[in-house]
Structure 1
Amino acid sequence: MTISSSPSHDADILRIGECTVTLSSREVQVPGVRRLRRLTPKAVGVLRVLARSNGRVVTRDELFAEVWPDTLPTNDVLTQAITQLRKAFAGDSDGGTAYIETIAKTGYRLLVPVCVDDVPALPRQSARVDEKGDEAGPDPLPVGSLTDTGAAADDEATPALELDGAATSAVVPQHSRSSWRRTRRWMLLGVGIVMLVALAVMAWLLQRSSGPTPLDAAVENGTRVIGSPQRPYRLITAGTGFETYPTMSPDGSQVAYEASGDDGQGGQIKLQTSGNAPARNLVERPPGAMDRFPNWSPDGREIAFARFFDDGRCQVLIASATGGNLRQATRCDGTELLSFDWMPDGRELVFGSMVGAFAHRGIRVLELGSGKWRALDYPAQDDDFDYAPRVSPDGRWLVFVRNPQVGDLWRMPAEGGPLEPLTDDAAEIRGWAWLSDSRHIVFGRRVDSEVRLYQLDTGTRTLRDVGLDDAQWPAVARNSNMLAFVHRKAQFGLFKVPVHEPAKAERLFPSSGRDSQPMLAPDGQQLVFASDRSGSYALWWADLQSPQSLRPIQGLRPDTRQSPDWSPDSRHLLMVGRDDHGESLVYEITPRDEQLSVLPVPATRPLQALYTADPTQLLVIERDDDQRTRLSLYDRRTVPWQRLATLEGVSQARFDAGRQHVLFARFGSGGLWMADSTLAAASVQQVSTDRPSRWRYRNWAVASGGRIDYVDDWAGCSTGLLRIGASSPPQSHCVDAKRLSAGNGFSVSADGNDLYVSIAVTDGADIGVMPLPDASVDIFPAFIKPLMLKE
């Protein structure tokens, strides 16, 4: 295809084929794709060179000289840039190859036309008028017609033109030009006045709130220490157990939460003032029951909660906030991820997706008076699990989390309708709540080794970190912005546990940080794990025969969602990480040689990558622009890689080298599934109906002989190993009776005798409270707020 003439070097907006590229913001708009795609600076540099080439082949050396001057880059950086450009231009099926062609052993060529996009024209100068009265082009300004400020003199006479022999005024053009310049001066003056007023207001507000900071207040006049800085929050519980799932009374004066019982198990709903007064039980639970998930009614008179029994039964109950008057709202069953909340009128409860004996896909509303259900009509797929629906205090909007394991927040009208995403992070979300203004929400999100709280403006989609470490499961009072949250600051260490003699457990590489996701190499000698032990989150490697070899993998920021995967020969690792712009990339690492490279995976957002028995093929769990997640099998012999097969709705996968099968978990159902190595749809079958659970979807591993190992907890055992063999009955081993394990990955030795697992060394959770600032009042002008809050 012939390329149009080279665009101007000063052009900011280019039309490249069917796509529109804004160079200054590095954004690509693809027809039919809802979201803009963002390029890295180096990818934009490569695109500029290709766009100027007029369709000729640009060699790799030319691109290195133009985009990476005065450096010695590897071929990988250019391959990565080309891959990102193809992903940015990719349509539904072409993978971006219709735009950029690879010329083997030479370079690349742009295959589509390039032109400068139209921009609004500036006001025209005065025009000559020809004999027919039409404009004949710009008229040169007379000397002296401009003052020093660039404006024409208002009272200057207009030159005359001869029309049909008669002297006629050259009329309007010169006068219009003068009028435009006067208008522009007034507009600029107005903008300047508005900016001065905004700065004055901001300075006044800053002065009002510029009292001594906690750090300043701790030192009197800079001369002596008078105390430690105060936290922005206050802990209202300080026990040795776990207090979780808080809910606040509408006025923010009381908190209800789930607490550990005297028997060491959770399941007692307690009430407490937002001070430090002693807590009391909401109701007494019967033997063999656990009460969980309290929710305070909008009028403050009642609390709804779920009661689970040992035999699997479940009830949603409503009690008076003062205790007593207990009644049943509906039945459920003992499976996980039950979620519900009050509707603003207090006469209905809204439920998320339910599973088990009372399963229902999607969100529905229960009328408490009649017991009738009303399903909401909105878009949902079979593999979607919609969790924690909550209606805004003004009753207009309903927000929920879709697939909370790797999920996002979505919004729709309160009675159902079209959906719109509020976030696009594919994150592990730990609770969320509306603020009283019905515009802002606060939610917990796992970031590296901790969970933090973020405040989201649903109008502008901008985020602000609330500034709390290790905070999750937020709750906000309906009539004020008093916040309650769970503060869990656990320390996790790595342990090698002999399965048959757990008392001989050995801690590996002790530190004061948080170590997780231990992955043992097939040779049994190398171990990698994620940790913040050095102060920043990193992937660490060690030769177990030489403990002093422990070191971090430089140049990699690992993703916390999935564990790394070893190659069959124990030489390489696949790991998803993030670059400086937060984009997800697949890295192939040779840890013993301290080398890593970026693989050109043609996926919008890769979440996990796995080796197969065939070195030319890789398995990748990926997410597309429509936030759909799938498992894909790629042939990596050509660039771009060829997608051979896909399975939709996969959350976690492992390759069973012994049986040449792929095992995987799904968002839309619990348990484990299996497919052959080609991902053929006809080969898919379910191999376990209840394990892994949806929330612990990463806590399983493929062992030798077709065995599946799970790390879970049960009565009397906080960390246990359950083994399900292909032809043998299940076996259970209690690894640690009192301490919980991390839920994001473990590994087992080849002979099955040793478990490598992350276990909490210190643990516990308390309830914290604090007032949130009024989100509707901001000391920063609206036009700079998005720049400050965007993550």
Structure 2
Amino acid sequence: MLNPRSYPLHQESDRLKVGEFVVDLPRREVVSVSQAEPVRLTVKAMHVLLALVGQHGKVVSREALLEWVWPDTLPTDDVLTQAIGQLRKAFADDRDAPRYLETISKGGYRLLAPVQWLDAGTVEAAAPIVQIAPPAIAGGTPVRSTTTGRKPARSRLVPVVIAVACLAVAGAWYYLRGDSSEVATKTVAAAKADAAPESLAFTTITSRPGRETNPSLSPDGALVAYEQMDEENYGRIMLQASAHVPARALTNPPPGHSDVMPVWSHDGRRLAFVRYDQSSHCRIMTVASSGGNERAIADCFGGGASTYDWTPDDSGLLMGTVVKPASEPSSPLRLLDIASGKWRTFDYAISNGDIDLDPRYSPDGQWIVFRRNISLSDLWKMPASGGKPQRLTSIRSDIRGWDWLPDGSGLIFSYIGSATFMHRYDMASGRITPLEMSEVALTPDIARASPSMVFTVDRSMAGIFRVSLTESKDGQPVRERVFDSSRSDMLPAISPDNRMLAFLSDRGSRQALWIGELDKPDAAREIESFMPVPRHNPVWSEDSRKLLVIGKPATQQVLYEVDAESGRAEALPVPASSPIYAAYTDDPKRLLVGADSGEGRLRVVLYDRSVSPWRELASLEDVALVKYDAAHRQVYFTRMSKPGLWRTDMQLGGAEVVDAFRPRVPSEYKRWSIGPDGVYFLDWNEGCATGWIKMGEPRSRSPLCLERKIESWPLGPSLDRSGKYLYVTMDVSNSSDIGLADLSAMTSGTAAATTAKR
């Protein structure tokens, strides 16, 4: 009998010529010059075709085809008959005079037409890249990507969730990058036709209170490992079958230690994970999949860990680091040799200032796809041996996990930017299709040899809290929620006159800007004229009459100026496309605006807006966020490429370091606010989950502890002009589970079979 584990099909490219027809495997389409429109095959019909291709010219019995295409089930003969009928229709074949599929009485079927794998390189070069437009994005640290030098707390996921849960940006828009040919035009039309979301059903396989997150599937999809966080936010690795059944602890961290980020080896015998101790020291560990035999391999490179993958031969781990070493111009991927415990830099082309993260090897081991840069990130592809990377996406977004489909035909990734949150990328065409799901889905992980995917289902909510920095109760500053609601509120901005609070919320069933007077807690009102991007806090003018807010009416982000009293919003004609943040200066004719300077790196520009078009007066590269100190006429800013806070003058010249230590990592670049006597930072340590400290203080000085157990979100806080009250985003509820989805409809499984044989 034809057994797929004994006779796997070797897929040489994504296009197969059968007679006069061409079969596009990733799209499951059969096309011919004689047909006006392609014929789309079902997944099972495609699998039947591939089985016949693998045994070309030979008779393949019905029993063998049922075993190959419908393994471990009890299908009727009708399902195979229907699949053969669909193939005949696609190839315009006649059953009585076949040229393609011959029926052998009481024997089975035989593929008659000649077959040829079309050159993959030619196909790839001919296919223009169609991308999704820049989306609305939210801040915070990327999940499974930026574990810093501390015990991993729930804030690794929480900031994502509020932003995601609040978003209601409609649809996804596609555009073509630099190709106006007829072929490109046709591809764009096809991409638009496919832009409608695909529905993806799933089940949750965990339901404990608290947080289960960052799941990883075994190669065969039978087992899932994940992090389980306790009440003190310490993690351990749990293991269970990929069903709603009891789990068991796979690792046993010592008291005060936290185990996170499990990843299965290709042979399924081991898992790697990351362990943090009480001093935030980070080590790479391995453990047998059967449990026990925990082994330390090496210290984390640079003191922190990010998402990683095993090399195809299971001899090493490939990882990026979120903090660029001060002595290096960029932060490339690093390779850890498990036998020696030594790190080395992976050899490939990388530009100065780039930070590369989240590498994943393709199922056949021939390619590596990774995420380039932190906040305005995209996915890139390069040969597994290194070389020059090729950009795949152009979304410039906050990517929250991704993985390969098991046949290598595409990727599933999650990012903040549309109402669907999870997307499928097609390697052949470059098309991105939203996946419609009933809940927030992040950090996807797909089995290497099975069409199964697990991910984090996050159900957390947050609110805005006012913390008194001068009053305390039971040894802690007094804290109260402002503008209380049953929905999620975030990104507060207190007006300079300390009278009004602007914030973002989905309390009106869509993401919107809200403004309320603090002495009228039930009178907050929605600004309905545009939809804001939940990334940065609104910015008030000095007279407390207007705000600067980034919105996204269509395919590009826009800077709006909002009149606080009337609610009218005016789109400002910023010369830079898709501005990311903005700030007023003491001159109403001059604005500071941050935008993408290329390849995901940011710069800030000082514009004179009294002329048309706006005139650029000064600029500064590598500026993640800028804020203006009106009292002292100074500009403060943070960077993605290195820790610290800088100060410069109004002309953006003569920058000097204010604090070389805080923020520590790129994910903390928003956690600061300007006070009457300097700049303050939302700090943390092992004894205090949320602290408040003046920047520039010695590293040894402890912050004022605002909350011992609950960590604030790494979004921008807002300090009032008196320095007495701080407004910050914090948890209201905090939970997440593991979801499981079947991807059979998206993958042919051929590369997975090859991987399984190896």
TM-score, normalized by length of structure 2?
0.68
Quick one: distance in 2 between partners of 1:290 and 1:476?
Answer: 24
Q: Is 1:348 equivalent to 2:316 in the alignment?
A: yes
Q: How does 1:276-675 map to 2 (within 5 A)?
A: 276-332=244-300, 335-353=303-321, 355=323, 361-447=331-417, 452=422, 457=427, 459-501=429-471, 504-579=478-553, 581-624=554-597, 626-675=599-648
Cα offset, 1:248, TM superposition: 0.9
The farther-off stretch of 686-695 and 661-670 is 686-695
Deviation by residue 1:321-353 (Cα, 9 ceiling, x = unmatched): 112333333212684453321112212211113
> Is 2:202 the counterpart of 1:233?
yes
Provide the C-alpha distance between the structure 2 equivalents of 1:415 and 1:192, rounded to a whole number of angstroms: 39
* 1:60-87: CA deviation from partner (whole Å, max 9, x where unpaired): xxxxxxxxxxxxxxxxxxxxxxxxxxxx
Shift, 1:551, TM fit: 1.2
CA contact (8 A) 1:312 1:334 kept: no
C-alpha distance 190-764 of structure 1, shift in aligned 2 (>3 A): closer
CA distance in 2, matches of 1:270, 1:193: 46
Q: Give 1:692 shift.
A: 5.1
* Counterparts in 2 of 1:454 and 1:514: CA distance versus 1, 3 Å: farther
SS at match of 2:744: coil
How many angstroms apart in 2 are the aligned matches of 1:411 and 1:333? 23
* Residue identity matched to 2:355: F
Distance 1:333 1:266, change over 3 A: farther
The Cα of 1:296 is off from its aligned counterpart by 0.6
TM-aligned CA deviation for residue 509 of structure 1 = 1.9
Partner Cα separation in structure 2 for residue 358 and residue 698 of structure 1:
21
Q: CA deviation at 1:302?
A: 0.5
How far apart are the structure 2 equivalents of 1:628 and 1:514? Answer: 30
Instruction: Give distance in 2, aligned partners of 1:600 and 1:357.
Output: 38
Question: Aligned pair in 2 of structure 1 residues 463, 722: CA closer, same or farther (>3 Å)?
Answer: farther
Q: Distance in 1 between matches of 2:660 and 2:227?
A: 31
Aligned residue in 1 for 2:216 = 247
Matched with 1:162 is none
* 1:744 and 2:718 matched: no
Identity, % of aligned positions: 35
**Displacement, 1:702?**
1.3
Conserved? CA contact 1:457–1:463, under 8 Å: no
Q: Residue by residue, what CA displacement relative to the aligned partner does 1:106-163 show, whole Å, maximum 9, x if unpaired?
A: xxxxxxxxxxxxxxxxxxxxxxxxxxxxxxxxxxxxxxxxxxxxxxxxxxxxxxxxxx
What displacement does 1:606 show?
A: 0.7
Superposed CA offset, 1:142-193 (max 9, x none): xxxxxxxxxxxxxxxxxxxxxxxxxxxxxxxxxxxxxxxxxxxxx9974379
Q: For residue 260 of structure 1, what is the amino acid of its counterpart?
A: M
Matches for 1:89-104 after TM superposition, within 5 Å: none
Question: Which of 733, 739, 754 is matched with 1:768 structurally?
Answer: 739
Q: What is the one-letter code of the residue matched to 1:643?
A: E
Match of 1:247, as an amino acid?
S
Q: Residues 395 and 510 of structure 1: is their aligned pair in 2 closer, same or farther, counting only changes over 3 Å?
A: same
Partner in structure 1 of residue 754 of structure 2: none
Amino acid aligned to 2:546: H
Q: Match for residue 719 of structure 1?
A: 690
Distance 1:475 1:598, change over 3 A: same
Q: Aligned letter for 1:705? A: D
Q: CA deviation at 1:253?
A: 1.0
Distance change >3 Å, CA 325–CA 592, structure 1 → 2: same
Q: Specify which of 677, 680, 688 is matched with residue 709 of structure 1.
A: 680
CA contact (8 A) 1:352 1:362 kept: yes
Query: 2:743 is matched by which residue type in structure 1?
Result: L
Work out whether residues 215 and 738 of structure 2, in 8 Å CA contact, stay in contact via their aligned partners in 1.
Answer: yes
1:159-198 equivalent positions in 2, closer than 5 A: 190-191=35-36
1:201-227 deviation line (CA, Å, top 9, x unaligned): 9xxxxxxxxxxxxxxxxxxxxxxxxxx
Given the superposition, is the C-alpha separation of residues 340 and 676 from structure 1 closer, same or farther in structure 2, using an over 3 Å criterion?
same
One-letter code of the match for 1:765? S
Query: Quick one: structure 1 residues 458 and 559, their matched pair in 2 at CA, closer, same or farther if it must change by over 3 Å?
Result: farther
Structure 2, unpaired ranges of 5+: 1-31, 47-198, 750-758
Q: Which amino acid aligns with 1:639?
A: S
- Once residues 300 and 591 of structure 1 are traced to their aligned partners in structure 2, the CA distance between those partners, rounded to angstroms, is 58
1:693 Cα deviation after fit: 2.9
Q: Assess if the C-alpha contact under 8 Å between 2:496 and 2:542 holds in 1.
A: yes
The residue type equivalent to 1:596 in the other structure is A
Seen in structure 2, the aligned counterparts of structure 1 residues 502 and 585 have a Cα distance that, compared at 3 Å, is farther
**In 2 relative to 1, CA 297–699 (structure 1 residues): closer, same or farther, beyond 3 Å?**
same
Distance (whole Å) between structure 1 residues aligned to residue 309 and residue 432 of structure 2: 25
Whether the aligned pair in 2 keeps the contact of 1:604 and 1:624 (CA below 8 Å) is no
* Structure number with larger C-alpha Rg: 1
* Distance in 1 between residues matched to 2:669 and 2:37, nearest whole Å: 56
- CA distance in structure 2 between the partners assigned to 1:545 and 1:266 by the alignment: 39
Inter-CA distance 339–596: structure 2 relative to 1 (3 Å threshold): same
The alpha-carbon distance between structure 1 residues 509 and 649, as it changes in their structure 2 partners (threshold 3 A), is same
Residue 210 of structure 1 corresponds to: none
Provide the C-alpha distance between the structure 1 equivalents of 2:427 and 2:686, rounded to a whole number of angstroms. 42
Task: Give, in whole Å, the separation in 2 of the partners of 1:614 and 1:461.
Answer: 45
Q: Is residue 2:243 matched to residue 1:275?
A: yes
1:549, distance to aligned residue in structure 2 (A): 3.9
Is the Cα–Cα contact under 8 Å of residues 583 and 628 in structure 2 kept in the other structure?
Answer: yes
Q: 1:598 Cα shift?
A: 1.3
Contact 1:665 1:692 in 2 (8 A): no
Comparing 287-296 with 455-464, greater Cα deviation is found at 455-464
Report if the CA contact (8 A) 1:452-1:469 is conserved: no
Q: CA deviation at 1:727?
A: 10
Query: Any conservation in 1 of the 2:719–2:725 contact (CA below 8 Å)?
Result: yes
Q: Which residue of 1 aligns with 2:665?
A: 693
Amino acid of the structure 2 residue aligned with 1:255: V
* 1: CA distance, partners of 2:612 / 2:461: 43
Structure 1: distance between partners of 2:406 and 2:444: 14
- Is 1:758 matched with 2:729? yes
Secondary structure of 1:695's counterpart equals: helix
Matches for 1:33-112 after TM superposition, within 5 Å:
none
Distance (Å, rounded) in 2 between the aligned partners of 1:333 and 1:751: 42
Moved more, 314-323 or 658-667: 658-667
Q: Using a 3 Å threshold, how does the CA distance of structure 1 residues 252 and 565 change in structure 2: closer, same or farther?
A: same
1:665–1:671 CA contact under 8 A, matched in 2: yes
Cα distance in 2 for partners of 1:767, 1:313 equals 28
Whether the 8 Å contact between 2:322 and 2:666 is mirrored in structure 1 is no
TM-score w.r.t. the length of structure 1 is: 0.66
Aligned with 2:36: secondary structure?
helix
Q: Deviations over 1:30-55 (max 9, x none)?
A: xxxxxxxxxxxxxxxxxxxxxxxxxx
